[in-house]
Amino acid sequence: REDLWVREGKILNPEKLFFDEKGSADIQLDCKDSIIAPGFIDVQINGGFGVDFSLATDDFKSGIGLVSQKILSHGVTSFCPTLVTSPPSVYHQILPQISIRNGGAHGAGILGAHLEGPFISKEKKGAHPEHCLRTFEAGAFQDLLATYGSLDGVRIVTLAPEMKRSSEVIRELTKRGICVSLGHSVANLSQAEEAVQHGATFITHLFNAMLPFHHRDPGIVGLLTSDKIPAGRRVFYGMISDGIHTNPAALRIAHRAHPKGLVLVTDAIAGLGLAPGRHTLGQQVVEIDGLNTYIAGTKTLSGSVATMDTCVRHFQEATGCSVETALEAASLHPAQLLGIERKKGTLNYDSDADFLMLNDGLYVQATYIAGKEVWRQDALGM
């Protein structure tokens, strides 16, 4: 029922074309009744297809290239490669190899790294190796710089706000335009609110690896309805909507409490797209059993093997929300979180022409980046 006009990789306001230039389309494409939606943005993905972003290998660059290519079929047009808690040497080797780049036929665009840990709580470490965890005791921000080696190309840092001196670290990161996320934490609500007042804007996989909601002290979860959020600021929260990490009722509670902050993330690991069995997540061995991923020999969940389009469909089904709402949780909201909503996450004029064609069941039919088709279902005979 609508036309979408694209020129030079951007979504075009057709009035300019019709009235100023008296032009018309060079190429017309029949979308065959598809839904056109902004490309998905995954701000937390640890790897996939046998590639682990937390393992320093000789062919790290080709590994990241493989993942960025494969996730096009899931509708992801840009992402933040995520590193779990690792020794400093690993950050020093890997971070210089993660360069921010635009997407294209070669794969989804890279928006910058998400560093999840090692400044997190021992009690809520989840699948993160305890011997690599660190605190800010001595040098605060200097400790963080020494651990990571460099913050070039870093987009998001997940830390536990109850740690001593975390406030100054949050301020320093925020000053540099890095998004601070609260997670893997035993923080109470006032510690979480203080972190937001210092600049934190995100919660890493809500409900997972944090204190459960308690009516007298709701903990980090309480940020969803807190009245202590600075004016004009929105707190976003990631949800792994795979039907395993959070019960559908918990997903509904979060969504109804704070719909505009919900960001779908896959938290996918190297085993995404591979057969069940043993795979890695950074320093740990994990076992995949169906859609469940555990640290080998335990029942500790460690990331997911869900694809972004699966998460969108599950979210829509679990909450009964509108199709638009489900799609925005994977596109507009992550773009707003990263402050790139003028370029990505919408179909507004002058934004990047990264978009998907989906059928009514929200299965991806084709993926476009900068107005060029980079994946189509029938072309691969899938």
**287 labelled as ligand-binding?**
no
**295 SS3 class:** strand
Is 15 a domain residue?
no
pLDDT the model gives residue 291 = 86
Is 291 a domain residue?
no
Is 247 a domain residue?
yes
| Structure-token match 């993905």, residue found | 45
Closest of 155, 192, 138 to residue 147, by C-alpha:
138
Q: Are 64 and 72 in contact (CB under 8 A)?
A: no
**184 labelled as ligand-binding?**
yes
Is 331 a domain residue?
yes
| Structure-token match 């019709």, residue found | 18
CATH of the domain at 319: 3.20.20.140
Structure tokens at 263: 């960001």
**214 labelled as ligand-binding?**
no
54, amino acid identity: S
Is 213 a domain residue?
yes
CA contacts within 13 A on the Cβ side of 298: 10
Output the DSSP codes for 13-26: -HHIIIIIS----S
Domain count, the chain: 1
**335 labelled as ligand-binding?**
no
pLDDT in tens, the chain (382 residues): 579 999 999 999 999 888 888 888 899 999 999 999 999 999 999 999 999 999 999 999 999 999 999 999 999 999 999 999 999 999 999 999 999 999 999 999 999 999 999 999 999 999 999 999 999 988 899 999 999 999 999 999 999 999 999 999 999 999 999 999 999 999 999 999 999 999 999 999 999 999 999 999 999 999 999 999 999 999 999 999 999 999 999 999 999 999 999 999 999 999 999 999 999 999 999 999 988 999 999 999 999 999 999 999 999 999 999 999 999 999 999 999 999 999 999 999 999 999 999 999 999 999 999 999 999 997 544 4
**250 labelled as ligand-binding?**
no
What is the set of active-site residues?
A: 267
Which domain range does residue 140 map to? Answer: 38-274+303-352
Strands 51-52 and 47-48, how do they pair? antiparallel
pLDDT the model gives residue 137 = 80
**209 labelled as ligand-binding?**
yes
Instruction: Give helix 166-175 / helix 141-148 axis angle, nearest 10°.
Output: 60
The H or E element that residue 203 is part of is strand 202-203
Dihedral sign, CA of 240, 333, 158, 192?
negative
Q: Are 44 and 82 in contact (CB under 8 A)?
A: yes
